[in-house]
Amino acid sequence: MRCVGVEQLAAGGTGVTAGEWTTLHPDGALRVLVTRQLPGFAWKKILVEANARVDIFRGDRILAPEEIEAALGTQCDGCIGQLSEVWDKRLLGALKAAGGIVYSNYAVGYDNVDIASATNYQIAVGNTPGVLTETTAEMAAALTLAAARRIVESDAFMRKGLFQGWSPGLFLGEHLWRKTVGIIGAGRIGTAYGRIMVEGFKMHLLYYDPVENPFLEAYVRAYNAFLSAQGQEPLSCRRVDDIELLLKEADVVSLHCVLDRTTYHMIDAPRLSLMKQGAILINTSRGPLIDEAALVAHCRRHPTFKVGLDVYEHEPFTSPGLVDLPNVVVLPHIGSASRWTREAMAIIAARNVVGILKGYPVWCQPDMSVFLSDACPKATPSVVNARALGLRLCSE
């Protein structure tokens, strides 16, 4: 068997291929399973340099649980998996039985992972925050514009050869300038989106979040100082305690919260009915935040209501009627899909696995960019159950 080490990787070596799987560095002392080919090269180098045999699924499909279980086999120290796989007690148990101590999701969200079971099995669960913040916020902004200004409908109209010349009433939409944007979930991505909407479109900002976001509020205050210096009206930035208030007041509502029991179907029929008839609803977070059947019914009844979705309740499927609605823009979960971000996510996931296998402490600062260079700290970038597992933290 040909051994593909770091040198061969650098020279473009692609590994030993058997069926739908490729193996890098087959003689590695450790074994890491990667359930989907990831963009870039650096992540492979990180794993191989850590002396891991790396088994990568090359197929262009989502592996079934029994396929992952079989691939984990009897020896697997760590695994990089996908948000489209359900890492429940069964799969985590299979990883544990194979000797695994770390699983990294190739995503910032980890609602597909049973954290309690992982902790119970002493498996560290990594995710990939920080490197997709601006990319996903940009996509939320793109969806907002596409929905507001009916870009997708207009594009289809052009391609059908229906354009007969300028017309005063053609594809009338909504402008954003100095209207109000409501952010539900003001974490990293929500904050980045808020900044884009404030700076780009001078939107007043409302946010709903269990905790205050002093950074965002200070940012808008500083921006207001700039606006005043330009002789322009300041913008408001307000945290609200109840979602209903935000839904009633906002012209654009964008969802940026995690999916858990408390946020499942947070946007349902009664809450949709509170929103302005011409409002815009954006979701780049997780599909089940919205009751999709209720959304379809609402959009049918209110043709001026507009929606931009990157995620779906029953991904990859969409609820009956959703894709036929002209007032809904639909994307295939590509919020973080810039080349740089997807390569950076792969690097963070690989460093999560290597960091735990080497016993490095867990990084506790928001800046993940330090992990993208070769001269990165000897730390594990992001482990969501680090405290529950009693892992050593960098600050300690």
Report the catalytic residues.
286, 315, 333
CB 197 within 8 Å of CB 176: yes
How many Å apart are CA 106 and CA 38, to the nearest integer?
A: 9
Residue 109 or 126 having the CB closest to ligand DGY: 109
Residue 88 or 199 having the CB closest to ligand DGY: 88
CB 183 within 8 Å of CB 207: yes
DSSP for 124-135 reads EEE---STTHHH
- Name the burial class of residue 295, with classes exposed (0-12), middle (13-18) and buried (19+) by CB atoms within 10 angstroms of its CB: buried
Residue 380 or 382 having the CB closest to ligand DGY: 382
CB 383 within 8 Å of CB 362: yes
Q: Cβ 107 to ligand DGY, closest distance in Å?
A: 3
CB 241 within 8 Å of CB 173: no
Q: SS3 of 205, please? A: strand
Measure the N-to-C terminal CA separation of the chain; round to a whole number of Å. 44
Residue 23 or 105 having the CB closest to ligand DGY: 105
72, 77, 70, 73: which is closest to 52 by C-alpha? Answer: 77
Alpha helices in the chain (DSSP H): 6-10, 42-49, 65-72, 89-97, 115-120, 133-148, 151-159, 188-201, 214-229, 243-249, 269-272, 292-301, 339-358, 386-389
252, 383, 234: which is closest to 305 by C-alpha? Answer: 252
DSSP letter at 23 equals: E
Q: Cβ 257 to ligand DGY, closest distance in Å?
A: 12
Q: Cβ 18 to ligand DGY, closest distance in Å?
A: 29
Q: SS3 of 54, please? A: strand
Residue 355 carries which side chain, given as an amino acid letter? G
**Going by C-beta distance under 8 Å and a sequence separation of 6 or more, which residues neighbour residue 377?**
363, 370, 371, 394
- Residues forming contacts to ligand DGY in the complex (CB under 6 A) are 83, 107-109, 132, 335-336
CB 123 within 8 Å of CB 101: yes
122 — alpha (psi -120 to 50), left (phi > 0) or beta?
left
How many Å apart are CA 392 and CA 379, to the nearest integer?
A: 10
